[in-house]
Structure 1
Amino acid sequence: MPDRVGSPPQRLVRRHPDELLVGLVSVSDRASTGQYVDQGIPALQAWLQDTIAGPMQVLTCLLPDERAQIADALRALVDERGCDLVLTTGGTGPARRDVTPDATLDVATRELPGFAEQMRQVSLHFVPTAILSRQVAVLRECPDGHAALILNLPGQPRAIRETLEGVRADGQSAGVPGVFAAVPYCLDLIGGPYVETRPDRVQAFRPKSARRQQ
C-alpha cells in the first residue's frame, strides 16, 4: 500500500550492505482520489522485482499533481527514509497540471541530463509524442553524505518498461539501451549499494575497474 502522507517517517534499515532502498512515487490527481486504480506503482514494483538480482526494500507513495506535495515526498524519501533510488511515474507532459519535473528540480542538488536525453531517445522509437516529455533526472545530496538518484518515468506501464529496458536489437539494428543500464554504476559513484541486475532483463554497464571480482 502507498505510504500515507503525514505519517511519522521511519528511516529504512539496510539489512545487507548491498540492499537497494527504493522509493516509488506515482503522481496522478485521479488515482490519488480513488477515481481509478493506480497502475504506475504496481508496474514499477513488478519490473524491479524481475530485474534486480540482489536484496531490495521498496517504499511507495501516491500523490496528486501538486508541486509542493511531490517535492516534500521526494525530500522525505531521500533525507528521512534513506532511499538510494527514487522513481517517479506520471505528470511529465506539457499540461498545466504536469508538475513532476518541476518538483524534482526543486529538490535537486545536481541535474543529470544524459538520463533524460536517453529516455526521450528510447521513447521516440515507439511514439512521436515523446518529444513532449519533460522528464528529468537529478541527484539529491544530503549534508550527512547520503545521496540518491531521482528519475522521472512515464505514466503508462508499457512506456515505463520500454524506457527502463530500451529498444531490443532485431538482428538488423543494434537497439537502443534503456536508462536502467546506467543506474547501478551511478549509484556506485554517489556512494550507494552495489546493485546487480539480471542480464536477461537489463545488462548493467560498469567499467572493468568498477566490477567486483567473482
Structure 2
Amino acid sequence: MINVAILIISDKSSLGLRDDQTGPALIEALSPHARVRPVQIIPDEFKAIKATLIELADAGEYDIIFTSGGTGLSPRDVTPEATLAAIERPVPGIPEAMRTASLEITPRAMLSRAVAGLRGKTLIINLPGSPKAALENVQVFLPTLEHAVETLRGDAHECADNT
C-alpha cells in the first residue's frame, strides 16, 4: 500500500478563517491509489514548512508528501524554498510535467514555482493551493505514482516503459 500525507499551506485556513477545500479534494482523488493520512494545515512560514516536511519524511511512514499552497509569486509564498531546504535530491521532471500540462489549461501555469524532490525514501511534491489546480496537477502525476514508489522502495527492477 502506498502511504501519502497531505500538507496544506495556508495562512487563512491555518487560522480557521477559511475552510480548506483542497485537502478533501486531494483525499478523494488519491484514495483509490493510496492510503491518505490526515491532512495537516500550517501557515505560510518557511521554518514551519521546512520543519514539518522534515518531520513527516524522517518518520519513514510516508512514500509521498503532497504540499498544497504557497507556490505562487506572493511574498508569503515560500513553499518551494522550504521544500528545497528540506529535500536531499531534486526531481525536476514532476513540476515540469505539471506546468506543461497546466499550460494547456491556463497561461497562469507559467507562474508556478512548484518543486519536487526526495528526502530519504520520501518524495515531496508541491501542488497549487486551489482545489481545481491541485487536482489537475495531481492527475498529471497519478500515472507514474506506483512506479515512483516502487523505485523509491527499491522494488522496481525494470524502468523501461515498453508500451
Instruction: Answer yes or no: same fold by TM over 0.5.
Output: yes
One-letter amino acid of the structure 2 residue matched with residue 128 of structure 1: P
One-letter amino acid of the structure 2 residue matched with residue 186 of structure 1: A
Give the drift of 1:183: 2.1
SS at match of 2:8: strand
Query: Does residue 149 in structure 1 map to residue 123 in structure 2?
Result: yes
Give the drift of 1:47: 0.8
Residue 60 of structure 2 contacts residue 122 of structure 2 at CA under 8 Å; is this kept in 1? no
* Match 2:132 to one of 132, 154, 158: 158
One-letter amino acid of the structure 1 residue matched with residue 53 of structure 2: L
Kindly, what percent of the aligned residue pairs are identical? 37
Whole-Å separation in 2 of the counterparts to 1:87 and 1:134: 15
Equivalent residue runs for 1:8-157 within 5 Å: 19-49=1-31, 51-52=32-33, 56-80=35-59, 82-141=61-120, 147-157=121-131
Whole-Å separation in 1 of the counterparts to 2:138 and 2:59: 26
In structure 2, the CA distance between the partners of 1:180 and 1:156, relative to structure 1 (3 Å rule), is same
Whole-Å separation in 1 of the counterparts to 2:8 and 2:85: 17
How many residue pairs get aligned? The number is 160
Give the drift of 1:179: 2.0
Q: CA RMSD in A?
A: 1.9
Give the drift of 1:208: 6.2
Residue 27 of structure 1 contacts residue 63 of structure 1 at CA under 8 Å; is this kept in 2? yes
In structure 2, runs of 5+ residues without a counterpart are: none
Residue 102 of structure 2 contacts residue 109 of structure 2 at CA under 8 Å; is this kept in 1? yes
SS at match of 2:153: coil
Residue 71 of structure 2 contacts residue 113 of structure 2 at CA under 8 Å; is this kept in 1? yes
Residue 11 of structure 2 contacts residue 43 of structure 2 at CA under 8 Å; is this kept in 1? yes
Larger radius of gyration between Structure 1 and Structure 2: 1
Equivalent residue runs for 1:184-199 within 5 Å: 184-191=146-153
Whole-Å separation in 2 of the counterparts to 1:148 and 1:84: 5
Residue 26 of structure 1 contacts residue 41 of structure 1 at CA under 8 Å; is this kept in 2? yes
Normalised by the length of structure 1, the TM-score is: 0.70
Normalised by the length of structure 2, the TM-score is: 0.90
Give the drift of 1:75: 1.0
One-letter amino acid of the structure 1 residue matched with residue 143 of structure 2: A
SS at match of 2:7: strand
* Higher fraction of helix: 2
| Deviation by residue 1:91-138 (Cα, 9 ceiling, x = unmatched) | 000111001111111111100110011110111111111111000010
Give the drift of 1:83: 1.0
One-letter amino acid of the structure 2 residue matched with residue 27 of structure 1: I
Give the drift of 1:180: 2.1
